[in-house]
Chain A
Amino acid sequence: MFLVPGFIERFLHRMASPPHFYAITERLMPWLWGIFSLLLLSGLYSGLFLAPPDYQQGESYRIIFIHVPSAWMSLFIYSVMAMAGAIALVWRIKLAEVVAISSAPVGAGFTFIALVTGSLWGKPMWGTWWVWDARLTSELILLFLYLGVIGLYNAIDDKRSASRAVAILALVGVVNIPIIHYSVEWWSTLHQGPTVTKLDKPSIHVSMLIPLLIMAVAFKFYYLIAMLQRAKTEVLVREQNAQWVKSMTEQELAS
């Protein structure tokens, strides 16, 4: 646990230089957009047109192609945020602070999507918009954790101490992640058990699994885009008095 190799530490320090980060992000962005658009279009096409209807749920199950990837993203982004927060706390790397706080609104968005699409799926299939079972309740707590992180960050003026407070809150909330994942196995819930991450084999037909996985990868790229957009703004605000930001606005003025 304490044996972090030296080259990783050196890499982190180099990436942590804000102008370097800003330039790399600018160069990366068109590629990210390209890959995301391709994945999204093929995911939507295969999910809405090619995939057959479900034997029980008919066409309504097509909500799965946004609901499940969003729910996965809500957990994934929280883990990234907490890890970035831990790195920020231990190594005091500014960029890790920026990544942590820039992830929060994106994660909150995906959590909100997972809850709303689940509700829109639950009404016709289960017969109710909402139940207080363990899965739905723990996912709602996740949304509040994200909103707490965003609120706490905005409530503290000094952004470096705000980042530290936020990192601790995020790390405390990590306990909710395994609870959400295992809630359908530990307790009786209205929400069904896991489909894709079952240990033996996924109980979803391959014609439905492929669009689901494409959408999941597309959402990963979306996260990179949305998080980096926030991170760029955040870096600019934090570095507004630095020379590289001044010369950039100078160019902006000239053009």
Chain B
Amino acid sequence: MLGYYLDLAWRSLKRNRVLTALMVLAIALGIGASMTMITVLHVMTADPIPGRSGQLFYPQVDPRPMDSDNTTPDPPDQLTWIDAMNLLHASEGVHKVAMSGGRVTVIPPQGASHAFFVPLRSTTADFFPMFDVPFVDGSGWTARDDEQRSRVAVIARDLADKLYGTPHAVGRMLQLGKYAFRVVGVIDQWNPSPHFYDLGMGNYTNQPEQVYLPLHAGLDLKLSTYNSITCWGGGYFPDDNDMRKATACGWMTLWVELDTPAQVAAYREFLVNYSEQQKALGRFARSPNTRLRDVMAWLDYNHVLPGSVQLQTLLALGFLLVCLVNTVAMLLVKFLRRGGELSVRRAMGASKRAVFAQLLVEASLVGAAGGVAGLLLAALGLWIVRQQPVEYAALAHMDGAMLGATIALAVCATLLAALFPAWRACRIVPARLLKTQ
């Protein structure tokens, strides 16, 4: 039966090529535009650290004085140095990592005149195992290195290639400004998108960190460049770039690994207790105001998805809607025009259901054609997106799931658009039409 319907559909579509082409074109344009944007949306909202995002948590506490900045109820996005250190050293047995980002001057072996800046991350030893960072050579440093402020460094593969011509750079010396560091590990290409663990570098950075240093050793460089600092009134601001002395500025980031709901609940309670304790000590003025979000909730809270991408998606979907209404109108025209032919089929014994099915087969043929053409247009659209100088451009690629989704969306949308015209077309009374002919 299906073969017969397909044959009928093919003949019908061939009979009015212009109308068929217009329908396919309309669907292709709508599908192409919306799938381009849906794919961009899909890759941009993807989980940056699949499998672990539900166990990594971002604590926030509120050290602001009572009279400052009462318009934002949420605590500051980052922690002060004191809070970060207190939280890092409290609650034994829980994996935690404290960090801060910035830029550092690298002096290559060719000499100081070739110096350049690279993004830097000063962090603690757990960073590498907690975020599943892949190594090509060596490994991360140890907790002892953190305590002893060892001058050791983990560098990115790109930097190793640039400086030493090989990714196997363990044991080499790395000159950062006035100080020399020993390379203990080289990490492979690694740039989670969104850059969840520090959004201060840009939500989708295409320039990930090249140098990782033990927290204290990194801060001892006293770089003037921090990714982001938020200060509130009444505190001391250091003159010598050593933010560790700033009492009223948040600039540190802490991530905590909590595996079970019980651990999460316990940590939430711990944050409240900590805030109360700090208030009793006179450091905090406000009653406990804490937050503990996992990776996806943290990204959501920070609105990492650019508004322009959402707007473009909305616009593309609006465009698809216009294209579909257009298809409904054209299919209605097409089906009703065939009243004579359908009447003959009905008179010769085809049931309403059979006629309905035949018309839907015809519509899905149009939908499939529109989907394939739309796929080509979406590929073109994504190529255009990749040419854009925006930081998320490189992410815009279509995967297998999206490929299938495109065709499915096209066929489903067209079938939906065909339902009403087909229903109308099988309601015609055969006798009346046959008589007038």
- The yes or no verdict on A and B being binding partners is no
Chain A interface (Cβ within 8 Å of chain B)? none
Chain B interface (Cβ within 8 Å of chain A)? none
